[in-house]
Chains A and B, each alone.
Chain A
Amino acid sequence: MAMKKRKSSILERKKEVLESLEKFGSDIYGQMDSGQFPSISMPSRSTENINYDADLRQFILGDRTVKRSARNIRHVKPFTQLTWAAMFSNELASQRKTSTLRDVYYSAQAYEMTFTDQQESNNIITDLETVLGYSREDFNIFPEERSAVFGNLVIEYTVPGYEGRTMDLTSHPDGVMIGPALTSSEFVKTTADKVIAIEKGGLFTRFVEENVHKKYNALLVLTAGQAPRATRQFIRRLNQELKLPVYIFTDGDPWGMHIAMVIISGSANAAHLRELTTPDAKWSGVWATDIVNYKLPTDPLDEMDMKRLYELQKDPRYQEDKLMQREIKTFMKNKRKAEQEAFSRYGLTYIVDEYLPAKLEETKRK
């Protein structure tokens, strides 16, 4: 399947980001030039202003806004930091260079804009995300990378020095890191008809070895625990641009369940952002009911696990999801959990040969 028509989506988005940064600068410039103290408004990120939107199936910010004004003695410093962060992002994005939150913290010092601590500089970047509605990855500010992708997908780089070069994501058996270069690539073609996201590296490697990508015609994504935002955005693109259904495999415990939920519905911390969620993605296992049905070796749920279950039960993201609700109850009833590796009691390939097809079939119908 070729996707030539979408070729420019990444570059377009880059352009939009740059435009929004420039507009931000122009607004401030204009206000100052006309003798006004510059100010900006943005949605409040306080807990009271974070609401769950059942239609979007993610958290969003409410109507409450906060105003930052350079007239206010307490705001003028963060306002300056925000303007600096926008300028810094603009330089990164226009020069196609990437950096990290840590870089941001140190770079500020070159402008005598020293942040008190990392938290302060992180907050400013989040403010910038909130004001502009783009995530920091759009500004080329990336977290440490640890997730990867493997499978039959050809991508075309847009990063400087690699423009136009393509790569087949089966070319390296450890998978390809989902970093700035990959997330800014265009999708050229794929033969896959589904995406399988996997929590743990060991299982990801097993799936590659067992040719899951061929047997089940799937792209394999390693989330490496809680999926980073770049990875969540990447999964969304696979789902939206390539129309591939997404199946998520995690450990059979409340934490694994929630890894799936964050891919599906996002997090409260990212309530100010869109396009990080994949609402149609499915949690395929390991379910609490699987633990019973497959007679898996288990560990007892500890106090922390139980507490987490009660929290998730009340979490708005779980309210409409009958499957999740059922699984939470089952966990609570059995008070047992199992890791993905528990299937190894039936042999190393059991999970690929028996469990995986059964679950893909089962969740496809849902």
Chain B
Amino acid sequence: MAQTTFEEISAADFFYRNRDIAGFTNPSRAIFAAVRELVENSLDAAESAKILPDIYVRLSYEGEASQETQIYKLRVEDNGIGIQPKHVPSAFGQVLFGSKYKLKQQRGTFGLGGKMAILYGQITTHQPAYITSSTGLAKIYSYKLMIDIQKNRPLILDRRVLINKRQWRGTVVEFTLEGDYFRAMPKLLDYFKQTAMVNPYANLTFVDPKGRLYKFARGIKDMPDPPKETRPHPYGVDVELLQRLIQITPYNNMHEFLRNHFHRIGDITAQKFLDFSALSPSKNPKRLSHEEIVRLMHNLKKFKDFLPPDASCLSPLGEDLLKAGIIKELKPEFAVVHQRKPATYAGHPFIVEVGIAYGGEVPKRGTFVIYRFANRIPLLYDEASDISVRVITAMNWRRYRVQPDMPIAILVHICSTKVPYKTVGKEFISDRPEVRKEIANGLREVARQVQHFMSKREHVDRERKRLGVFSKYLPRIAQFSTKLAGKDKPPDIERLLKSVKQFGDEETEE
């Protein structure tokens, strides 16, 4: 695995050489990935303190780079918690630095995204990045920095401290990068729209290089509770994580080590487990040999008496917010959502949320429109490989009176402390039986509601048609019979029309 070589070569160097895996594959993907990483950092920075996010993104044209690529300046502003001044250089100038090693549901996973974007910008344009941040206290700190790729260290070119007169709080990141905006544009706009859908409490503003303003306004002021930090569950650990924990642990015996670093391990369970794996409780974890660590990892997975992880570390959107987001962005005729109960795969808790929207601004494409999300990030690439798409394709939709030619959007959101991505690019979810089952059950639940809606709609349609028939023909019968009977004025048919109508209204009421 990549991480095991960090100490040998610089992490920055490693990612420089392997930038494909972080999503910076080509000039259009690079623009997309850079915007996405910074926006997601900003969202996290606001949400972690339950601040309603206000995020401003501007991409401006700086000049030609080559025939197909241009230089752009990317600026992302947020109103998040801000960064302590001493952490700013590392947070943006050192790859794999960050707070994201503790376990809670977060958008990024490796502490990689934002720095990768800056690194990419530096590689392609040789320009420094500008970071300005304040935690809302007296001062604003502004840095001009570059990354020393070989050493994986920030190079501070300039540092300024300003008086924070207006108690501004947040972070502004600005740097230049090479890319191809016009190729990236459709995906980027999709990204904003879908991000707005699952973050309905956020204000998102995007100004593109042509000066066009895209505004995705906040639709609701409720926010989900921020996820709680949790310790790793024993079923989910690997050797790498064990080594990391052993390195940082202040405890010098196995009993304390287990009890304090793992989720669902208390005094009794620790004791039972140590008996089970024939380890002395007083053994110093730092003295474990590599073989012992590997054995420990296997035993942690084999031991049956750990409780499954609890889901308090997860922050699903919740049915109300999900529905609000769908309604805000798609204005559908009808929307249903459903949140599954927490489940686990390989020691990682996860929650699946699904939704179906019908009509309104849902495009009619001849196939379902599928929106995939993981930890509130839209997944826009490699749709066909995604587990959700496979589940959706395998379902018998006709049972639910749903046809592919209907304007139907299906939304699947998975949140987890460790989203089972198939690749580092984080574009699609791999096929895990536990995850598959949750998605399928969730979709069946909403599909049943859609079925109910569809049959009700058919009924309303039928009633409307029925009414239409009567209101078309009754006046004519009146007209013709008046003429036949030689009368001057037509009979009063209001009562008749009313009686059909009343009947119709009753039938269509909820």
Contacts and interface: CB of A to CB of B under 8 A. Distances in A.
Question: Do these two chains really belong together in a complex?
Answer: yes
Interface of A: 21-22, 24-26, 28-30, 32-33, 35-38, 70, 73, 76-77, 79-80, 83-84, 86-87, 90, 111, 113
Given A80-B476, A87-B481, 18 more contacts: A22-B485, A24-B484, A25-B482, A26-B481, A28-B484, A29-B478, A30-B491, A32-B481, A36-B496, A37-B496, A38-B481, A70-B496, A76-B470, A76-B474, A76-B477, A77-B473, A80-B477, A80-B480
Contact of A83 (B469, B481, B493): B481
B449 to A, nearest CB: 29
B480 A84 contact: yes
A28 B479 CA distance: 11
A79 B473 contact: yes
B491 A70 contact: no
A86 B480 contact: yes
Given A32-B491, A32-B493, A35-B496, A87 B484 contact: yes
A26 B484 contact: yes
Nearest to A34: B491
B481 A28 contact: yes
Query: What is the interface of chain B mostly: helix, strand, loop, or mixed?
Result: helix
B295 interface: no
Contacts of A28: 477, 481, 484-485
Given A32-B493, A33-B492, A37-B496, A70 B476 contact: no
Contact of B477 (A30, A35, A73, A83): A83
Contacts of B491: 29-30, 32-33
A70 B480 CA distance: 14
Nearest to A36: B496
A87 B477 contact: no
A133 B495 CA distance: 32
A344 B484 CA distance: 56
Contacts of B466: 73
Query: What is the interface of chain A mostly: helix, strand, loop, or mixed?
Result: helix
Contact of A90 (B470, B473, B476, B484): B484
Contacts of B365: none
B335 to A, nearest CB: 32
B401 interface: no
B487 interface: yes
A76 B468 CA distance: 11
B476 A29 contact: no
Contacts of B283: none
Contacts of A24: 484
Interface in B423-475: 466, 469-470, 473-474
B486 interface: yes
Contacts of A79: 473, 477
B87 interface: no
Contacts of B492: 32-33, 35
Interface string B216-236: 000000000000000000000
A32 B486 CA distance: 15
Name which of A30, A80, A90 has the most chain B CB atoms within 10 A of its CB: A80
A233 B491 CA distance: 38
B495 A35 contact: yes
A90 B480 CA distance: 11
Contacts of B487: 29
Contacts of A36: 496
A84 B477 CA distance: 7
A33 B482 CA distance: 10
A83 B491 CA distance: 14
B469 A77 contact: yes
A29 B466 CA distance: 22
Contacts of A29: 478, 481-482, 484-485, 487, 491
A27 to B, nearest CB: 8
Given A33-B491, A35-B495, A80-B473, A22 B486 contact: yes
A124 to B, nearest CB: 12
Name which of B474, B484, B496 has the most chain A CB atoms within 10 A of its CB: B484
Contacts of A113: 476
Contacts of B495: 35
A24 B487 CA distance: 13
11 contacts: A22-B484, A26-B481, A28-B484, A29-B485, A29-B487, A32-B478, A33-B492, A35-B496, A36-B496, A76-B474, A86-B480
B485 A70 contact: no
Contacts of A25: 480-486
B473 A76 contact: yes
A118 B466 CA distance: 25
A33 B481 CA distance: 11
B473 A70 contact: yes
Contacts of A90: 483-484
Contact of B484 (A21, A37, A70, A80): A21
A33 B491 CA distance: 5
Contacts of A84: 476, 480
B459 to A, nearest CB: 14
A87 B476 CA distance: 11
A121 to B, nearest CB: 15
Nearest to B484: A25
Contacts of A35: 492, 495-496
A110 B67 CA distance: 67
B474 A83 contact: no
Contacts of B486: 22, 25
A73 B467 CA distance: 9
